[in-house]
């Protein structure tokens, strides 16, 4: 089966991803791309995309990037995110990939961009650990 289709099927089964409106546009061992059309419901009081939405995108893109290399059911153990600019625009794009994959976990990175009138600008970066479920003590 197509890996991208498999990823999309999983995303379709995540009610919160549906609530946010996330779309999986790439999913292979070299990289994952998640896109979120920006609408008012995703904003905070100043009209920027809420940090929680950017976090959701980082968290989910990192998890997918880990799953693409660990080839199994995974969970996010932890991650860290640095916001560099307010996200203002029409679409949020998260691109993640694995920096290293071991037997039970992968170390992953993610860059988050906002697209405003066709121009893509970095708005956050993230780095974290994705664990295989069997090895995930924290999810037992």
Q: What is the DSSP string of 52-119?
A: HHHHHHHHHHHHHHHHHHH-S-EEEEEEEEEE-S---SSEEEEEEEEEEE-SSEEEEEEEEEEEETTE
Q: How many CB atoms lie within 10 A of CB 6?
A: 13
How near is the Cβ of 26 to a second copy at its closest, in Å?
19
How near is the Cβ of 33 to a second copy at its closest, in Å?
16
Q: Binding to a second copy by residue 104, rule CB under 8 A?
A: yes
Q: Binding to a second copy by residue 119, rule CB under 8 A?
A: no
Tokens of 106: 């992968």
**31 or 86: CB nearest a second copy:** 86
Per CB under 8 A, which of residues 9..28 are in contact with a second copy? 10, 13-20
Q: Binding to a second copy by residue 68, rule CB under 8 A?
A: no
Per CB under 8 A, the list member of 5, 72, 90, 138 interacting with a second copy is: 138
With CB under 8 A, what is the number of residues at the site for a second copy?
60
Q: Determine contact, residues 70/129, Cβ cutoff 8 Å.
A: no
């Amino acid at each position: 089966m197509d890996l991208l289709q498999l990823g999309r099927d999983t995303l379709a089964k995540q009610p919160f991803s549906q609530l946010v409106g996330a779309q999986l546009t790439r999913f292979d061992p070299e990289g994952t791309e998640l896109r979120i059309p920006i609408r008012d419901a995703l904003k905070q009081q100043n009209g920027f995309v809420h940090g929680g939405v950017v976090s959701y995108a980082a968290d989910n893109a990192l998890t997918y990037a880990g799953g693409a290399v660990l080839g199994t059911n995974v969970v996010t153990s932890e991650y860290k995110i640095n916001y560099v600019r307010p996200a203002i625009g029409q679409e949020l794009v998260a691109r993640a990939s694995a920096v290293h994959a071991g037997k039970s976990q992968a170390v992953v990175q993610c860059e988050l961009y906002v697209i405003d009138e066709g121009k893509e600008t970095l708005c956050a970066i993230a780095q974290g650990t994705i664990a295989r479920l069997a090895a995930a003590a924290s999810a037992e």
